[in-house]
Amino acid sequence: MLEYDPLKRITASEALDHEYFRMDPPLGRNAFVASQPMEKKAGMNPSVPRGDSTAPAAAATAKKERSWNGRLSKNKSTMEVERVQYTSPPSVTVPIIDLSDLDDDLVAHALGKASEEWGAFQVVNHGIPAELMRRLHEVGRQFFELPAAEKEAVAVLPGSKSLEGYGAKNPNLPKSWNDHLFHKIWPESYIDYSFWPKNPTDYKEVTEEYTRHMTKLSEKIMGCLSNGLGLGREKLKERLGGGVYKLGINYYPPSNSVIGAPAHTDINAFTLLVSNGVPGLQVFKDNHWFDVEDINSAVVVILGDQIMRLSNGRYKSVLHRSTIDKEKTRMTWPVLIDHVPGMIVGPLPELVGDDNPPKFESLTLEEYLYQSLAKRKERKDSNMRLGDG
């Protein structure tokens, strides 16, 4: 099994093999090139603490500030991802937006700004009950702790392109950088319950309740994102055709590997992600990887390629990745929102004009997915021709 062993060199194409199918990697391996080290605290030797849990004292004191970074080795055909500790992270952070603020215009403005500058933000006071979050975590954990044979009862069907179901980590399969579960949750007519676990028995009830809250939150966010573009609140929701919602659960057991989810942008419209409190998500901005602070009960909003296209490039599709903890299991629950099949993925007509021509082609969702996945494959093949395979 190929793992991102910090001390082992891997080729670029091996790294790309780990990219998730949702990735249309505009940065591909450049993502690693660009992730040059952030400034280091004078006197710290970054190579000393790397991958060492027995830890020089500095490792403990700087734990909160720790950040992982990918580094390209001098030899262009190989890539080394190594653990590097930085003690002077940039002082800015992914914006945190309080949704309980009564001033809707202010909230919409903050969301729009974060979407333009980062393509990611966190929302707090979103109205999802803490008890529901606790139950969501609990049923997810219980499912992943079942014996393999029981999880296989809802396994991804062999040869299936939908990727719905349970999959164990497998470097030869797309979207398989970790153990995961993935299925549609909304609208009802799109759901295939055969991929929903029967064990634990309250999985369905909890997931349905969570879905009700997620659709409400997502509609609020779409309203703000529309307003941020100077459009009516319903605009984005209409363009998505109301949206199709999928729930993923990512399960990263403790490991000495550095990277859990490799760098990617999301091919969907946007993603609402919660974690079990073990940090690891990072977003890329201005040539730096930024740790996303793990805030109890916050929902991280990650904008994807579809929103970038709708907004004609005003909103960013953020490159992100996640790291693995050496001691604790990390779990995340992304809810992915997509256009409904048949809807047009392309710049909103209100946002284009003579002095602002469309930056993206308008395609149906199916054409768009086909093209994005084909481009991804092309890049991968070309990397192999360049000898990185």
Ligand X SMILES: O=C(O)CCC(=O)C(=O)O
Binding to ligand X, residues 190-219 (CB under 6 A) = none
- In the bound state with ligand X, the residue whose beta carbon lies nearer, of 107 and 319, is 319
Residue 82: how many CB atoms within 10 A of its CB?
Answer: 20
- In the bound state with ligand X, the residue whose beta carbon lies nearer, of 225 and 261, is 261
- In the bound state with ligand X, the residue whose beta carbon lies nearer, of 128 and 272, is 272
CA triplet 130, 150, 129: central angle to 5 degrees? 5
Binding to ligand X, residues 20-39 (CB under 6 A) = 20
- In the bound state with ligand X, the residue whose beta carbon lies nearer, of 67 and 322, is 322
Q: Which of 119, 165, 197, 248 binds ligand X (CB under 6 A)?
A: 248
- In the bound state with ligand X, the residue whose beta carbon lies nearer, of 70 and 334, is 334
- In the bound state with ligand X, the residue whose beta carbon lies nearer, of 66 and 233, is 66
Task: State how far the Cα of 102 lies from the Cα of 245, in Å rounded to an integer.
Answer: 27
Pairing of strands 96-98, 120-124: parallel
Query: From the CB of 353, what's the least distance to ligand X, in Å?
Result: 34
Count CA atoms within 13 Å of residue 35 on its CB side. Answer: 29
Q: Which of 83, 184, 213, 320 binds ligand X (CB under 6 A)?
A: 320
- In the bound state with ligand X, the residue whose beta carbon lies nearer, of 222 and 335, is 335
Q: Which of 215, 250, 255, 265 binds ligand X (CB under 6 A)?
A: 250
Task: State how far the Cα of 249 lies from the Cα of 244, in Å rounded to an integer.
Answer: 17
Q: Which of 140, 334, 346, 347 binds ligand X (CB under 6 A)?
A: 334
Cα 326 to the center of its chain, rounded Å: 20
Q: Which of 181, 258, 281, 283 binds ligand X (CB under 6 A)?
A: 281
Binding to ligand X, residues 138-177 (CB under 6 A) = none
Query: From the CB of 296, what's the least distance to ligand X, in Å?
Result: 16
- In the bound state with ligand X, the residue whose beta carbon lies nearer, of 311 and 322, is 322
Residue 332 binds ligand X (CB under 6 A) = yes
Buried b (16+ CB within 10 A) or exposed e, 253-266: eebebbbbbbbbbb
Q: Which of 25, 280, 304, 346 binds ligand X (CB under 6 A)?
A: 280
Query: From the CB of 284, what's the least distance to ligand X, in Å?
Result: 12
Residues lying near ligand X in the complex (CB under 6 A): 20, 248, 250, 261, 266, 280-281, 320, 322, 332, 334
